[in-house]
Chain A
Amino acid sequence: MAIYTKEEARQIMEKALSFSTADATTINLGGSESGNIRYARNTVSTSGHRSNQSLSVTASFGKQSGSATIDEFDDASLEKVVKIAEELAKLAPVNPEFMAPLGPQRYDDDITFVEATANITPEYRAKVAAASIEPASEKDVTAAGFLNDSSRFRSTLNSNGLFAYNKSTDSDFTVTMRTNDGTGSGWVSRDFNDITKFDPAEAAKVAIDKAVLSREARAIEPGKYTVILEPAASVDLLRNMSGSFNARTADEGRSFMSKDGGTKLGQKIVDERVNIYSDPLHPDVPTSTWNGEGMPLKKTSWIENGVVKNLAYDRYWAGQKGMEAVPFPSNFIMEGGSATLQDLIKSTKKGILVTRLWYIRGVDPQTLLYTGLTRDGTFYIENGEIRYPVKNFRFNESPIIMLNNLEELGQQVRIDGNLIPFMKVRDFTFTSLSDAV
């Protein structure tokens, strides 16, 4: 079994630490069990099971550090891995940015592990696939989907007295439904820490309905449109934007967040209704309460009323700048409103509903301009109603421009470990048409 309890993990790491002679030593122990099923053409294709565990040791003498990893935890192996790390440290170049390991920290209790998810069986996965394939066959639609579930733990202990442990479960499901005439495609994504919240039949229905509704899409001219972005459509642009919250690259002058020899910290960059924060204890999107180097993760505001509230400082850079270290977020929560998707459609005179965006790549890091395409359900809205499906578009747009052109925020949905609202945005830039279905 690759999942150790807190006490089992502590015992193994304390044993390893007992062999250390370095100035500072950090032990990391982790393991995971994961299973998946993949299906396509209304039948199963590949599936598998993986199990992993490893223990790594980072030893430091002065500002020289070395790391070694092992996957056997008997005393002789633990002693060997510590010795290897220490030998490597003595040979390593001096790291001028070396930071001594943190001392003891206080962490909030996490809420990331759910027994039911850890107990998923191959038979359950096959049933999930069947819950897509059977209704698809009935509607002249073909299903291709994937379910992956995992349980994992990670733990860290160091010679300065720090100890941290986290156990978590995850499940990710996506399915694409394509009509058999090749003219319609729908998609849905669901992810949970707790698999009992997952309704495979409900998810399959959403994708099938979109596939059927999106058949025989019409071509309309590319240009600037009001769009309603489902959370799956905006999440990647928002996540890409979050990458620019790195204080160091901002200070160095090579980021969207750089400005006039300094940064945009404290400046308004988007509409004042935009509030974005991270929170490891949010019940819908819980994460570990500590990061890779053992820093406690707390609820942190990144954008408040459109103003940049925090930039992420690693410990070294914080020291250089005389700032408090601010760890990178482990999830991304954007506050929404009370409007449902239907409400947003109803209040739209003319616009485009976008299910998701695909193949998003950066075009200009200076302006956070990204390109990509709509996919799996793009619809034209007129006078408060979905009128007909439209062909997919390529967009060239910056999340900064998008959040400045905000019209209305709707309800939040969990997507890929984050919480994102439906949003209506004006003047979203579509630059060309695609024939892809």
Chain B
Amino acid sequence: MLQMFKWKTGEFSWVDFTIDVLRILIVLAIVVGSWNTLSEGRISFAQWVNLFIAGLSQGSIYALIALGYTLVYGILLMINFAHGEVFMAGAFSTVFLAEALNRTGFLNQSPVLAILLMILFAGLVSMTVAILLERIAYRPLRGSPRLVPLITAIGASFFLQYTFRGLYGSGFKAYPQVKILQGVFQVGSINIPKVQIFVFISALVLMFALYWLVERSRIGKAMRAVSENKEVARLMGIDIDWVILFTFGVGGFLAGSAGVINGMFRPQGVNFFMGFIPGIKAFTAAVLGGIGNIPGAMLGGLFLGVIEAIGPNLVLAGLGIPGANQLKDVIAFTMLVLVLIFRPQGILGERLSEKKA
């Protein structure tokens, strides 16, 4: 906080000055863009609500992936850059199960059971990948300079992408449609696609399960202890290696289940590169909420999803930029950079910012 107000102490720093100018420009752009859009009134209230809800569903998927980043960061202070690929592994593997379930007709006969099976399968596949990743690539590097595990993680990310490309082929594969998730829910004049509700609710259930695990269970207590202080936790008789492995496993499971939910949600299908961009976005979400902070990651994910849905239409279209929806990703990545500049400790995460600095 002190650094932010450095200029008040009379010491002039041109870096601060440039950043302040940047801040003013961004606020200006947002205000002008939104003003223009709202005063033109091209988009109705119902459409805004629709965008908002679509953003929430997309955001809940980001939140599930972001939890994996946050859990690992909380314990190891390392960015598991390959986490997006863990997500891909589950989603890509389960598309075959979904096809098989669809072919036998089970998917539409008892969709709840079928989707539960898919989520479990995807979660377990991703969990296996995450655990192998930790065991093979990250464990030997524990305690080395910070960039070393990051470079390893980048390597692991590309290794996993191209492994799955080799295993399952490079084409897109689409999840089959589930009948009960088709159609819309009508609330007044607003139509909400059923699949979005499904996505949001199942993500919420998973997030609460995780919250319970971390806050209430024995292993959760151990996880919190390890993230607080590894050495002391070891002295208290906690098996650190096992806790770290478990953390990777839980993060992987959430990512895998997010993969299935994502598959139901997005009809364009899955392929080996599908995890990269959501991975970066989920990291953004994790930073947004304060990395290392579990409720923060959930909140950050939802927030990012909404901004990504509304931002292009509200701000960019208002500034007269054509094809604003193409720039969705630009908004997300700009958010990432802005958060890292202006509030690296995130919305909720004060605790870890000290550790980091």
Q: Do A and B bind each other?
A: no
User: Which residues on A are within 8 Å of B, measured CB to CB?
Assistant: none
